[in-house]
């Protein structure tokens, strides 16, 4: 059982490292969105994609490890989670798992907050782009109909960006 617990600790540590890197990337993304630095945003997107893939792999490993520990401890499959495992371990064995659980909760909360902020920043940037397009094409803000035509405008009217070079 010590081997399984040690493996779970290893997996949770790696998940924490990846999530902390994601938080750092989100902070960098925030600055890049504000500056409009497309190159940095593209690089971050590639990095985030790799992180998400590795987190998915680690999550599958973690779930397998939790199921294995639960089976050894006599915990039903549907009740197998970190909490129930910690409840059945001794103080010494559960300490690193509880510490990692708390660290993971904190880093996930930080990531969620940064995601909300970044979502708002990106929304503001898109809104600014819409205003710029409207001012360049001298057309009012518009809404699209279900067929994709601009509501309230003749269908054949083309703006500056509708012509090919």
Residue 154 has pLDDT above 50, yes or no: yes
Tell me: the pLDDT tens digits for 86-135?
888 888 888 999 999 999 999 999 999 999 998 888 888 888 888 888 77
Give the CA angle between residues 88, 92, 98 to the nearest 5°: 70
Q: Structurally, how many domains does the chain consist of?
A: 1
Determine, yes or no, domain membership for 159: no
Query: In DSSP terms, which residues pair with 144 in a beta bridge?
Result: 150
With respect to residue 92, please indicate whether it lies within any of the assigned structural domains: yes
Q: Higher confidence at residue 92 or residue 145?
A: 92
For residue 16, what is the domain's CATH number?
1.20.58
142 pLDDT higher than 60: no
Q: Residue 150 domain-assigned?
A: no
Instruction: Tell me whether residue 160 is in a domain.
Output: no
Residue 34 included in any domain: yes
Q: Percent of the chain scored above 70 by pLDDT?
A: 84
Q: What is the pLDDT of residues 22-47, one digit of tens each?
A: 999 999 999 998 888 989 999 999 99
Q: pLDDT > 90: what percent of the chain? A: 45
Is residue 163, in this structure, part of any structural domain at all? no
- The answer to whether the CB of 124 falls within 8 A of the CB of 32 is no
Assigned token pair, 11: 């997996």
- Own/partner pairs for 4-7, CB < 8 Å, 24+ apart? 4/65, 4/68, 4/69, 4/72, 5/69, 5/89, 5/93, 5/97, 7/65
The pLDDT of residue 10 is 95
- The Cβ of residue 22 has, within 10 Å, a number of other Cβ atoms equal to 23
Alpha-carbon gap, residue 72 to 133, rounded angstroms? 63
Query: Which residue range is the domain that position 132 belongs to?
Result: 2-139
Residue 146 lies in a domain: no
Q: In this predicted model, which residue has the larger pLDDT, 116 or 1?
A: 116
Q: What is the value of pTM for the model shown?
A: 0.73
Instruction: Determine, yes or no, domain membership for 157.
Output: no
Q: Can you give the chain as a three-state secondary structure string? A: CHHHHHHHHHHHHHHHHHHHHHHHHHHHHHHHHHHCCHHHHHHHHHHHHHHHHHHHHHHHHHHHHHHHHHHHHCCCHHHCCHHHHHHHCCHHHHHHHHHHHHHHHHHHHHHHHHHHHHHHHHHHHHHHHHHHHHHHHCCCCCCECCCCCECCCCCCCCCHHHCCC
Range with the poorest average pLDDT among 16-20, 54-58, 84-88: 84-88
């Amino acid at each position: 059982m010590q081997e399984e617990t040690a493996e779970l600790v290893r997996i949770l540590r790696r998940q924490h490292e990846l999530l902390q890197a994601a938080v750092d990337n989100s902070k960098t993304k925030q600055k890049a969105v504000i500056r409009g630095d497309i190159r940095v945003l593209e690089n971050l997107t590639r990095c985030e994609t790799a992180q998400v893939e590795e987190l998915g792999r680690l999550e599958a490993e973690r779930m397998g490890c939790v199921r294995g520990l639960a089976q050894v401890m006599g915990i039903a499959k549907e009740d197998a989670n970190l909490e129930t495992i910690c409840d059945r371990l001794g103080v010494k064995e559960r300490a690193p798992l509880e510490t990692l659980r708390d660290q993971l909760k904190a880093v996930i909360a930080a990531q969620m907050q940064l995601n909300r902020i970044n979502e708002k920043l990106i929304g503001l940037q898109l809104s600014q782009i819409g205003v710029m397009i409207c001012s360049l094409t001298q057309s009012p803000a518009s809404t699209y109909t279900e067929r994709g035509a601009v509501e309230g405008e003749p269908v054949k009217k083309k703006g500056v960006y509708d012509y090919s070079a």
